[in-house]
Amino acid sequence: MDFNDIQNAWNNEKSENVVLPTNLEKIRSANTPLDKIRKNLKKEFVYQVVSIVFVGFAPLILSFSSQATFLYYLLYSLFVAVCVYYLARFYFFYKRLSKIALKTKDSLYETYFDIRLNMELYKTFGFALTPFLVLYLLGLFYYQFSKVHGFSDLEFSNSELIMFFLIVVFVVLFMGLSLEWWVHHFYGKFAKEIKKVIDELKEE
């Protein structure tokens, strides 16, 4: 291979890596939905932390007995551990998004798949909290019911047991549908805008 061949190969290789102005504008257009995702993540992180702290004061607000308070905080400690794990993941995800500058196709692809991955992680987080929500609701119902009838005389009829079962089913279904809507509304529709830019770049 002589010098001209080497130069031609070099020029061809460089031309493949050059981002055309039109493509660059399309890639940069993905920054708008990305900014919205960052903004929603930041807000929700604050809301989540405040909510976790607020839930911790429930026994004081509802005047639980010492026995009920102990059981509540036993469950609450597990709840906090789960929340800390997932919120830490979301925090690092937010930090990654904050450092991203969409200038190449590769950065656009990586960012999109990172967003999709964390959307699924968010759904997993919601489902991980569902058992706690069910136990909280049943525990609260049980506690209020026992204040009227007493723990020793507390018995449930078949209709009440069926009602418990229906409450659990309803809460799980409600959480599932709410999670799908929430993730789509605050993150999914913006991820679709980024995916649209990716598809337009593929067509060229």
pLDDT, position 57: 92
Residue 5 lies in a domain: no
Residue 8 lies in a domain: no
pLDDT in tens, 19-48: 445 566 766 666 788 888 999 999 999 999
The answer to whether residue 10 scores a pLDDT higher than 60 is no
Query: How far, in Å, CA of 86 to CA of 181, rounded?
Result: 19
Q: Give the structural domain span for 52.
A: 21-203
Residue 6 lies in a domain: no
Residue 12 lies in a domain: no
pLDDT, position 40: 92
Q: Which residue shows structure tokens 């920054």?
A: 31
Residue 2 lies in a domain: no
Residue 7 lies in a domain: no
pLDDT in tens, 167-200: 888 888 888 899 999 999 999 998 998 888 888 7
Q: Average pLDDT in the 87-99 region?
A: 91
* CB-count exposure of residue 72 (10 Å: 0-12, 13-18, 19+): buried
Report the candidate in 36, 113, 53 with the shortest Cα–Cα distance to residue 87. 53
